[in-house]
């Protein structure tokens, strides 16, 4: 019985959660509600993919939330403050996000700081930078400028389509999320690059003695982590149509929770993208269902924490057997 729960416990929890919320609210099973869940989950999933990749190499990127915030603000600034086109509002945040990944990898790989401390420091630096740039104000259409007048640009429909549009009744963010999950899963499981990432995280010294360029692969991991956090931030800006300061901060813990819940999916016992996606879906279902039942937002974290403890308890208990 326990091996079955170890492999399929998370999926069973999702099934029971869906059944419970469906009985409590007849609107929960509607197509519109499930697309809303997947739309919200898409941002968390992209951010959690970044966390997962950093975990694979034995690291832990705490700066993903602030990187997403920086991308949100940068996209909004390019459109609203500098009247740039959509492609520029996407490329500039990605370039800045990759610089954040390089900064993380420099501190972790070259300076050899513990990953938690290094990425925590970078998180504070990024928060300070984007708050200094915005002076603590969100960026939105027709916002007043300190020097007088209003902002010259607006959120373009082509940019908003990324976060709000649909293709054949499927939200665009959901399509982006599914493509990202499939592509990253294939890379990690079917390519030499993915295997070397896992080898690096499994035993760094053995990997080094085997000729694996460990430092380079750790750098790749932090670059990818920053890249997916940036994508999450761009999607968030496109979804809400504003550049909210510190918008990515609440996403950090949900992304971390999704990545760790993924350890228990199918009994993987290690970071994996499919598990991370399932973990994000579970969190999305919980938040949506609890909101529909009018459960206060401050009580929802108790449920998320309990689910995370349960998932990790199964995993670590099985490992000790």
Which tokens in the block code for residue 257?
Answer: 């929770």
The pLDDT of residue 211 is 85
The pLDDT of residue 144 is 85
The pLDDT of residue 71 is 94
Helix (H) or strand (E) holding 228: helix 214-240
The pLDDT of residue 4 is 63
The pLDDT of residue 315 is 60
The pLDDT of residue 320 is 56
**Three-state DSSP class for residue 62:** coil
The pLDDT of residue 65 is 92
Report which of 173, 149, 164 is spatially closest to residue 80, judged by C-alpha positions.
Answer: 149
The pLDDT of residue 6 is 61
Which tokens in the block code for residue 176?
Answer: 């982006």
The Cα–Cα gap between 77 and 18 comes to 40
pTM of the model: 0.92
Instruction: Give the chain's residues under pLDDT 50.
Output: none
Q: Report the Cα–Cα distance between both ends of the chain, in Å, rounded.
A: 15
Which tokens in the block code for residue 45?
Answer: 């999933």
Using the 8-state DSSP alphabet, how is residue 266 labeled?
G
The pLDDT of residue 319 is 54
Which tokens in the block code for residue 117?
Answer: 């401390």
The Cα–Cα gap between 51 and 226 comes to 9
The pLDDT of residue 32 is 86
Give me the domain span that covers residue 236: 2-320
**Three-state DSSP class for residue 167:** strand
Backbone angles phi, psi at 117, to 5 degrees: -70, -40
Q: Measured between alpha carbons, how far is residue 126 from residues 43, 61, 63, 131, 304 in Å? A: 19, 13, 8, 8, 27
- Number of structural domains (the chain) is 1
Q: What residues contact 113, with CB distance under 8 A and at least 6 apart? A: 107, 121
What's 125's domain CATH number?
A: 1.10.3470
- Rounded to the nearest angstrom, the gap between the alpha carbon of residue 278 and the centroid of all alpha carbons in its chain is 13
Task: Please return the burial class of 101, using the count of CB atoms within 10 Å of its CB with bins 0-12, 13-18 and 19+.
Answer: buried
Q: Is 316 left (phi over 0), alpha (psi -120 to 50) or beta?
A: alpha
The Cα–Cα gap between 222 and 97 comes to 10
């Amino acid at each position: 019985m326990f091996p079955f729960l170890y492999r399929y416990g998370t999926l069973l929890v999702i099934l029971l959660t869906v059944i419970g919320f469906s009985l409590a609210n007849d609107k929960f099973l509607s197509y519109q509600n499930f697309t809303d869940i997947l739309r919200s989950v898409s941002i968390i999933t992209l951010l959690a993919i970044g966390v997962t990749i950093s975990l694979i190499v034995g690291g832990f990127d705490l700066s993903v939330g602030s990187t997403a915030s920086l991308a949100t603000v940068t996209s909004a600034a390019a459109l609203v403050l500098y009247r740039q086109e959509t492609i520029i509002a996407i490329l500039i945040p990605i370039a800045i996000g990759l610089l954040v990944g390089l900064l993380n990898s420099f501190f972790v790989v070259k300076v050899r700081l513990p990953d938690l401390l290094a990425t925590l420091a970078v998180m504070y630096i990024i928060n300070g930078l984007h708050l200094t740039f915005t002076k603590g104000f969100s960026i939105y259409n027709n916002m007043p400028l300190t020097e007088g007048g209003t902002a010259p640009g607006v959120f373009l429909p082509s940019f908003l389509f990324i976060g709000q549009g649909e293709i054949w009744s499927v939200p665009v963010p959901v399509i982006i999320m599914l493509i990202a999950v499939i592509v990253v899963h294939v890379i990690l499981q079917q390519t030499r690059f993915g295997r070397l990432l896992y080898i690096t995280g499994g035993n760094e010294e053995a990997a080094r003695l085997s000729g694996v360029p460990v430092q380079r692969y750790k750098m790749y991991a932090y670059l990818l982590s920053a890249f997916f956090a940036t994508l999450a931030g761009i999607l968030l800006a496109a979804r809400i149509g504003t550049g909210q300061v510190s918008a990515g901060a609440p996403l950090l813990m949900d992304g971390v929770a999704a990545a760790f819940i993924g350890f228990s999916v199918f009994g993987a016992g290690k970071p994996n993208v499919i598990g991370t996606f399932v973990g994000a879906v579970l969190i999305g279902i919980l938040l949506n269902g609890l909101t529909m039942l009018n459960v206060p937002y401050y009580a929802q974290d108790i449920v998320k924490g309990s689910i995370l403890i349960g998932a990790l308890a199964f995993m670590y208990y099985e490992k000790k057997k």
